[in-house]
Chains A and B, each alone.
Chain A
Amino acid sequence: MFRFIVRRLFIALPLLLAASILTFVLVTNIGTPKAIEDAQAKPNASKAQIESLRRQFGIDKPPVERYVDWFSGFVRGDWGKNQNGVEIRPLMWERIQVTLRLLLAATIFSVVLGVLVGILAAVRQYTAFDYFMTFFAFLFFSIPAAVLAGFLKEFGAIQTNPWMREPSMSTWLMVLLLVFGTICGYMVMRNRYKYDKVRPTNKYILGAMVGLGIAAGFVIVFKIGWDGNTYRQGNPKNIIPTVGQTTPGFEGEWPARMQDYFWHMLLPTMALVLIGFAGYSRYMRASMLDVLNADYIRTARAKGIKESRVTVRHGVRNALIPLITIVALDFGALLSGAIITETIFGWAGMGRFFTDGLTAKDPRSLLAFVMVTAVFVVVFNLIADIIYAQLDPRIRL
C-alpha cells in the first residue's frame, strides 16, 4: 500500500511540474495587464511609471527567468500580490474555503442521489421509473449551468421570496397535504403486498396512518417552527438570498449562522447537484446493469440468497467501483460549473477570483489559480486511484 502511494506520487510530481510549465506558457501569453494598458492610454504617462508598473506585475524580465522566479516563489508559498496589491495566498485560501463548501455539498448530494437513482433504474430497467429518470438525466445533462442557475435564481428565489416572507398555508392546502400523505402511505403498502394472496387490510390502514402522521407533522412544523423562527425575524432581508455566500456582517448564534449558510448555499448547490446527478445516475445505471449480468450474480441467486441482498451486497458494492474514478475525473467540470454558478449568485469564491484575474489580465492571480486547480485535479485523481485499488482486489498494489 505504502509503496503504491509512493509510486503514484513519483508519477504525480513530474506531472505537476509539467503542468506548471503549461500554466506559465498559457498565462504569459495573456497580454498586457489592464492597469498597464490604462496607464499607457494616458497622454502624460511617463516611461518610468510604466516600467514600475511592469515590475509590479512581474513582467519586466525575460520569460525563463520569470518562470523560475514564479515557480520557486510558488513552492515556497510566496505567491505575490494581485492586481489590487492584495497578497494572493491568504485571499486564495479564503476563496477556496468558500468554493470547497459548495463543491463538497454538491458532490455529496449528487453522488448519493445519482447512485440511488442509478441503482433503482438498473434494477427496474425498462419500467416507467427508468424512462422517467433517463429523460430527466438527459434533460439536466443538456442544460448549461448558466441557464439552470439563472432559472433557479429567478424562480427559486426572486419569485418565491415574497411568499417566504409572509408564508401562509390555506386550509385547503393543508387538507390537500393530509389527504396526499394518507394516499402515499396507502400506496406504498399496497405495492408491497401487491402479489400476496391474502391482502393484509390492517397493514394498509397502518401505512395510511403513517402517511397521515408524516403530513400532519410537516404541517405542524411549518405552522409552529416557521412562525417562531429567529433567523427570519432577526434578518430583515429575503429568506433565499440571491447574492453572496453569507449575509455581510451577519452576527448570530450558531443555529442562526448555520441557517444563513444553508439558505445561501441552497440554490447554487441545487444547480450543481442537478447537473452532476444526471451524469452520475447514468453511469451508475450502466455500471449496475453490467454487474447484474455478471456470472457471480447468477451464482449468488442460485445459492438462494435473497434478491435484496444480491442487489446490495453483490451488485451495488461492485458497481460503485468504476464510479469513483468518474467522480474524481469530474472535478474539472464541476469546478467550471461552480465558476458559472458563483458568478450568477454573486459568490466571492474561486470563480470570482478567476474572473477578476481574467478581467485585469493579472498574471500572478491567474498563475496561482490555474496551478491550484491543477494541484487539486492531480490530488483527487491520486486519491481516486488509491481508493480504487483498495476496493478492487484485482488491481495490484
Chain B
Amino acid sequence: MTTTEADEREFSVAARSQSRTIMRRFRRHRPAMISLIVLTLLTLFVFLFPLVWKWPYTERDKSALSQAPSWNHPFGTDGLGKDGLGRVMRGTQRSLEIAIIAAFLVTFLGVIIGAIAGYFRGKVDSVLMRFTDLVLTIPLLIIVAVVSVSNPGAPWYTIPIILGLVAWTTLARIVRAEFMSLREKEFVEAARAVGAKDSRIIFKHILPNVAGPIFVAATLTIAGTIIVETALSFLGLGVRAPDVSLGFLIQDGLSAFKTRPWLFWFPAAAIVLVCLCVNFVGDGLRDAFDPKQNRIKA
C-alpha cells in the first residue's frame, strides 16, 4: 500500500473546489439535468439524423403533396411535397446555430463593455452607459427588422450577428453592476498592491467571480434569440427560402393551419421544447451559482 499525504494524517479531508461544488449543485437540480440531457439528445438528433434520413429538406416527393403524418413522412409533407421531418430537423439546426452565434457575440460584447464600464468608472463608464441607454431606446425586434430589410439577400448568419450587436445591453448592465461592487473588495486591492495590471485584475481576479450571472445570461440569450428569430421570420425577415429555420416553418404552418395543421404543430413543438430546456438549464445554473443557496431542491 502506497502512502500518500492524506494517509499519513489521521483523517483525510478533500476540499471541494468551487467548480466542483457548482457542478454538484447543478447535477442535483433535477429539471435542469433532465433538460440538459434532452437538449443534448435533440441536438445530436437534428445534426446527425439528416445524414441518413431519406428525404433531404429541399427534396420534393411529388407523389405525396400535403400529406398527413405517415410512416413514409412522419411529420407529413407540405404543399410542395417537402418532407416535414427533414425540414424540422434542418430548421432546428439553423435556429440553434443562430442562437449560439448570437449568444457568443452577446456574451463577448456584454462582458467587455460591462467590465470596462464597471471597472474604470468615471468618463468611460458614463459614455458606455449612455451608449447602452441609446441602444435600449429602440426595441430589439424593430432594429433587427429594419436592418434586415436594408440587406435583402444577406446570408443567414447576418441575422445572429445583428442580433448580437444589439442585444448585449442587458448583460453589459449586469456585468457592470457586479464589477462595480467587486472592484472595491479587498482581494482586488491586494492584487493592485502587488502591482497587477488592470487587464490582469479584470480577467484573472474579478471575471471568475462574475461567471455565474454571465453563464446564466448567456444561456437565457439562446432561448431569447430563438424567440426573436421566430418573430423576425414571422414578419418574413428571417432566413430566406430554400433555407429554413423554426420560425420560418411556423410562419409557413400558420398560413395553412386549417388544411395542414401538422406543418404548424411539429415546428412549434420543437421551438417550445428547445426553449423550455434551455430555460430550465439556465434556472439550474442560476441556482448552482447562487452563493446564498444551501438547500438543493429539485
Over the window 19-32 of chain A, the binary record of Cβ atoms lying under 8 Å from chain B Cβ atoms (1 yes, 0 no) is 10011001101110
B146 near A146 with CB under 8 A, answer no
The answer to the question of A83 belonging to the interface, with a C-beta cut-off of 8 Å to chain B, is: no
Residues of A within 8 A of B137 (CB): 15-16, 19, 22, 374, 377-378
Chain A CB within 10 Å, residue with most, of B234, B261, B272? B234
Residues of A within 8 A of B152 (CB): 31
A336 near B231 with CB under 8 A, answer yes
Q: With A and B bound together, what is the CA distance between A22 and B130 in angstroms? A: 13
Q: With A and B bound together, what is the CA distance between A353 and B145 in angstroms? A: 14
11 new A-B pairs (CB below 8 Å) besides A22-B138, A141-B279?
A16-B137, A29-B150, A142-B227, A146-B247, A146-B250, A147-B230, A147-B250, A150-B254, A332-B136, A339-B235, A374-B138
Selected A-B contacts with CB under 8 Å, 28 pairs? A15-B133, A15-B134, A18-B134, A22-B138, A26-B138, A138-B283, A141-B275, A141-B279, A142-B223, A142-B274, A142-B275, A142-B279, A144-B234, A144-B250, A147-B268, A147-B272, A333-B139, A333-B140, A336-B140, A336-B141, A336-B228, A340-B231, A340-B235, A343-B235, A354-B145, A355-B235, A369-B142, A373-B142
Question: Looking across the interface, which residue of chain A has its beta carbon closest to that of B264?
Answer: A150
Question: Looking across the interface, which residue of chain A has its beta carbon closest to that of B147?
Answer: A26
Given A22-B134, A336-B139, A374-B138, A358-B145 contact (CB < 8 Å): yes
Residues of A within 8 A of B147 (CB): 26, 29
Question: Looking across the interface, which residue of chain A has its beta carbon closest to that of B251?
Answer: A146
The answer to the question of B149 belonging to the interface, with a C-beta cut-off of 8 Å to chain A, is: yes
Question: Looking across the interface, which residue of chain B has its beta carbon closest to that of A369?
Answer: B142
Q: With A and B bound together, what is the CA distance between A129 and B140 in angstroms? A: 34
Q: With A and B bound together, what is the CA distance between A29 and B130 in angstroms? A: 24
The answer to the question of A361 belonging to the interface, with a C-beta cut-off of 8 Å to chain B, is: yes
Residues of B within 8 A of A22 (CB): 134, 137-138
Residues of B within 8 A of A26 (CB): 138, 143, 146-147, 150
Closest 5 CB pairs of A and B: A332-B139, A142-B275, A336-B141, A144-B230, A142-B276
Residues of A within 8 A of B254 (CB): 146, 150, 344
Over the window 105-135 of chain B, the binary record of Cβ atoms lying under 8 Å from chain A Cβ atoms (1 yes, 0 no) is 0000000000000000000000000100110
8 Å CB contacts to A: which residues of B256-292?
257, 261, 264, 268, 271-272, 274-276, 278-280, 283
The answer to the question of A335 belonging to the interface, with a C-beta cut-off of 8 Å to chain B, is: yes
B272 near A19 with CB under 8 A, answer no
Q: With A and B bound together, what is the CA distance between A329 and B140 in angstroms? A: 12
Residues of B within 8 A of A141 (CB): 223, 275, 279
The answer to the question of A145 belonging to the interface, with a C-beta cut-off of 8 Å to chain B, is: yes
B140 near A332 with CB under 8 A, answer yes
Q: Which of B146, B235, B264, B297 contacts A126 (CB 8 A)?
A: B297
Q: With A and B bound together, what is the CA distance between A374 and B142 in angstroms? A: 11
8 Å CB contacts to B: which residues of A370-388?
370, 373-374, 377-378
Question: Looking across the interface, which residue of chain A has its beta carbon closest to that of B277?
Answer: A142
Q: Which of A150, A336, A378 contacts B257 (CB 8 A)?
A: A150
Q: With A and B bound together, what is the CA distance between A78 and B134 in angstroms? A: 24
Q: How many residues of B contact A (CB 8 A)?
A: 44
The answer to the question of A87 belonging to the interface, with a C-beta cut-off of 8 Å to chain B, is: no
Residues of B within 8 A of A377 (CB): 136-139
The answer to the question of A366 belonging to the interface, with a C-beta cut-off of 8 Å to chain B, is: yes
8 Å CB contacts to A: which residues of B134-180?
134, 136-143, 145-147, 149-150, 152
B110 to chain A, nearest CB (A): 16
B142 near A370 with CB under 8 A, answer yes
Residues of B within 8 A of A339 (CB): 141, 231, 235
Question: Chain A: interface residue count, which band?
Answer: 35 or more
Q: With A and B bound together, what is the CA distance between A145 and B250 in angstroms? A: 11
Q: With A and B bound together, what is the CA distance between A377 and B271 in angstroms? A: 29
Given A31-B150, A340-B231, A370-B134 contact (CB < 8 Å): no
A30 near B149 with CB under 8 A, answer yes
Residues of A within 8 A of B143 (CB): 26
B145 near A146 with CB under 8 A, answer no
The answer to the question of A139 belonging to the interface, with a C-beta cut-off of 8 Å to chain B, is: yes
A228 to chain B, nearest CB (A): 33
B142 near A354 with CB under 8 A, answer yes
The answer to the question of A220 belonging to the interface, with a C-beta cut-off of 8 Å to chain B, is: no
Q: With A and B bound together, what is the CA distance between A369 and B275 in angstroms? A: 30
A197 to chain B, nearest CB (A): 32
Residues of B within 8 A of A30 (CB): 146, 149-150
Q: With A and B bound together, what is the CA distance between A147 and B273 in angstroms? A: 13
B283 to chain A, nearest CB (A): 7
Q: With A and B bound together, what is the CA distance between A326 and B75 in angstroms? A: 40
Residues of B within 8 A of A354 (CB): 142, 145
Q: Which of A18, A373, A378 contacts B139 (CB 8 A)?
A: A373
The answer to the question of A154 belonging to the interface, with a C-beta cut-off of 8 Å to chain B, is: yes
B222 to chain A, nearest CB (A): 11
Residues of B within 8 A of A126 (CB): 297
Given A15-B137, A18-B134, A138-B279 contact (CB < 8 Å): yes
B151 to chain A, nearest CB (A): 8
A152 to chain B, nearest CB (A): 12
B230 near A146 with CB under 8 A, answer yes
Residues of A within 8 A of B261 (CB): 154
The answer to the question of A391 belonging to the interface, with a C-beta cut-off of 8 Å to chain B, is: no
Residues of A within 8 A of B139 (CB): 331-333, 335-336, 373, 377
A139 near B272 with CB under 8 A, answer yes
Q: With A and B bound together, what is the CA distance between A144 and B233 in angstroms? A: 11
Residues of B within 8 A of A19 (CB): 134, 137-138
Q: With A and B bound together, what is the CA distance between A31 and B228 in angstroms? A: 23
A144 near B271 with CB under 8 A, answer yes
B214 to chain A, nearest CB (A): 18
Given A147-B271, A358-B235, A370-B142, A154-B283 contact (CB < 8 Å): no
Residues of A within 8 A of B133 (CB): 15
